[in-house]
Amino acid sequence: MVPAGETSRKQHWDGVYREKPLETVGWYQPVPAISLELISQLGLSQSAPLIDVGGGDSYLADHLLRKGFTDITVLDISGTSLKRAQARLGSQAERIHWVASDILDFEPQRPYALWHDRAAFHFLTDPAQARAYLDRARRGIRPGGYFIVGTFSENGPSTCSGLPVQRYSISALQDTASPGFELLRGFNTVHKTPSGGVQEYTFGVFVHRG
> Which is it for strands 159-160 and 163-164: parallel, antiparallel or unpaired?
antiparallel
Residue number with CB closer to ligand SAM (11 or 47): 11
What is the nearest approach in angstroms of ligand SAM to the Cβ of residue 22?
9
Site string for ligand SAM, 74-113 (x = CB under 6 A): --xxx--x--------------------xxx---------
Residues with Cβ < 8 Å from 86, sequence gap 6 or more? Answer: 93, 98
Residue number with CB closer to ligand SAM (126 or 210): 126
What is the nearest approach in angstroms of ligand SAM to the Cβ of residue 187?
17
Residues with Cβ < 8 Å from 127, sequence gap 6 or more? Answer: none
Greatest Cα pair distance, the chain, in angstroms, is 43
What is the nearest approach in angstroms of ligand SAM to the Cβ of residue 161?
6
Q: Report the alpha-carbon distance of residue 35 to residue 52 in Å, rounded.
A: 11
Q: What share of the chain is helix, strand, coil (3-state, %, to 5)?
A: 40, 30, 35
Question: 39, 48, 58, 62: which one contacts ligand SAM (CB under 6 A)?
Answer: 58
Any contact of residue 118 with ligand SAM (CB under 6 A)? yes
For 4, list phi and psi in degrees, rounded to 5.
-60, -40
Size of the site for ligand SAM (CB under 6 A): 19
Helix axes of 4-19 and 79-89: crossing angle, nearest 10 degrees: 40
Question: 50, 85, 93, 120: which one contacts ligand SAM (CB under 6 A)?
Answer: 120
Residues of this chain, 136-175, that bind ligand SAM according to CB under 6 A:
160
What is the nearest approach in angstroms of ligand SAM to the Cβ of residue 101?
7
Q: Report the alpha-carbon distance of residue 161 to residue 175 in Å, rounded.
A: 26
| Residues in contact with ligand SAM by the rule CB under 6 A | 9, 13, 27, 54-56, 58, 76-78, 81, 102-104, 118-120, 123, 160
